[in-house]
Amino acid sequence: MELINLNVYPVKNVLTDLLKDKTTKKNIIFATDAYNEFGIGAKSQITEDILQGFGTLVIQPRVYKSLSEQSERTRKKAEVFTPSWICNKMNNHCDAEWFGRENVFNSENGNTWITNRETIYFDESKGWQKYIDSKRLEITCGEAPYIVSRYDTTTAEAIPVHERIGILDRKLRVVNERTEDEKEWLKWAFRAFQSVYGYEFQGDNLLIARINLLITFTDYLRDRWERTATETELKKLVNIISWNLWQMDGITGTIPFGKPQEEYRQLSLFDFSVGINDTEPEEVDCRIFDWRSNESLTYRSIREGRNRR
């Protein structure tokens, strides 16, 4: 089963925008040597033309990658494989802190979980709208398994909408339970997407994460309203996703490898041995967006408690 398909709805409708880097105003870059066999270096921008040349089985979640490639990514980039039940356990812990009680959305059952079927209760001091707007960040997010849970990360088995355990899945469940008409549902669904953030170094992982959030929206829209998203809705959503899931070196708070190349070019063996650019890279602070104040800020300024635009 293909978990990621670039050539079908909704991905094909907005792939150009899914590849955008809001900081550089170019495309996200590969930031991995995994595609050297295709003549593509780590600093190359990910383009639609390059992706179409790969075939459908190249850009896929970690569970579909070979054991050797998984090991190599762990060794070189500290890429960590997190089972879905661990994501659920940690998200449950965060929700227990927020709600002040245990087992709000589900009860853990070994390496699985039992979903709570009752409507989620909110006390007067913490209304459901505050839960939707509460900001959550998944650091080094990979495919974003803490944010959304379309599939089991160990088996690749699809998880039904009403059994999902991601941070955003929980928010969308609340939106489902608390809204009565489509207009209100869309308003709060978009706000839920605006409240979750994640950064990732490797561009292929970031693209998969963005796609996972995109398909999550269309899954919930179809489940609740039995329709597909319009082009306008998809464009609005992908603008949020491409701001909130961004490419960054988490140590420096800057884009990987400094200022990106102007364009993709075929690499030679010499390029692989000494790198594309031997000059000192220009550091570029990553920018993210605060949707409630309607302004973009540098990640570094937020991390350091400053308000630098």
110-164 pLDDT, tens digit each: 999 999 999 999 998 899 999 999 999 999 999 999 999 999 998 899 999 999 9
Q: What is the pLDDT of residue 304?
A: 84
Kindly write down the DSSP assignment for every residue of 236-267, as one continuous string.
Answer: HHHHHHHHHEEE-BTTTTB-TTSSPPSS--PP
What does the pLDDT look like over 226-245, one tens digit per residue?
A: 999 999 999 999 999 999 99
Q: What is the pLDDT of residue 137?
A: 97
Q: What is the pLDDT of residue 283?
A: 87
pLDDT at 70 over 80: no
Q: What is the pLDDT of residue 272?
A: 45
Average pLDDT for residues 24-28, to the nearest whole number?
97
d(CA 183, CA 173): 16
What does the pLDDT look like over 191-224, one tens digit per residue?
A: 999 999 999 999 999 999 999 999 999 999 999 9
- Per the listing, tokens 């364009």 go with 263
Q: Tokens for 120, please give them.
A: 């989620």
d(CA 134, CA 137): 10
**Cα–Cα–Cα angle for 123, 95, 302, rounded to 5 degrees:** 105
What are φ and ψ of residue 13, in 5° steps?
Answer: -70, -25
| Contact criterion met (CB below 8 Å) for 138 and 213 | no
**How much is the pTM?**
0.89
| Contact criterion met (CB below 8 Å) for 298 and 308 | yes
pLDDT at 71 over 70: no
Report the DSSP pairing between strands 20-21 and 26-27: antiparallel
What does the pLDDT look like over 248-303, one tens digit per residue?
A: 999 999 999 987 655 545 555 445 444 444 455 688 999 999 999 999 999 999 88
d(CA 286, CA 141): 16
Q: What is the pLDDT of residue 130?
A: 97
Between 42-46, 61-65, 90-94, 138-142, the lowest mean confidence (pLDDT) is in 61-65
User: Rounded to whole angstroms, what are the CA distances from 74 to 91, 136, 199, 207, 268?
Assistant: 23, 25, 17, 18, 26
d(CA 263, CA 24): 13
Amino acid identity for residue 119 in this structure: T
| Contact criterion met (CB below 8 Å) for 240 and 4 | no
d(CA 308, CA 299): 9
Q: What is the pLDDT of residue 112?
A: 96
Q: How many helices (H) and strands (E) does the chain have?
A: 11, 9
pLDDT at 184 over 70: yes
pLDDT at 18 over 70: yes
Average pLDDT for residues 79-94, to the nearest whole number?
91
Check residue 228 and give left, alpha or beta (phi > 0: left; psi -120 to 50: alpha). Answer: beta
Cβ neighbour number for residue 17 with a 10 Å cutoff: 16
pLDDT at 3 over 60: yes
Q: What is the pLDDT of residue 170?
A: 98
Average pLDDT for residues 79-87, to the nearest whole number?
85
Average pLDDT for residues 14-37, to the nearest whole number?
95
- Per the listing, tokens 């379309």 go with 150
**C-alpha dihedral over 253, 255, 29, 237, to 10 degrees?**
60
Reported as a pLDDT band with limits 50, 70 and 90, residue 79 is: low
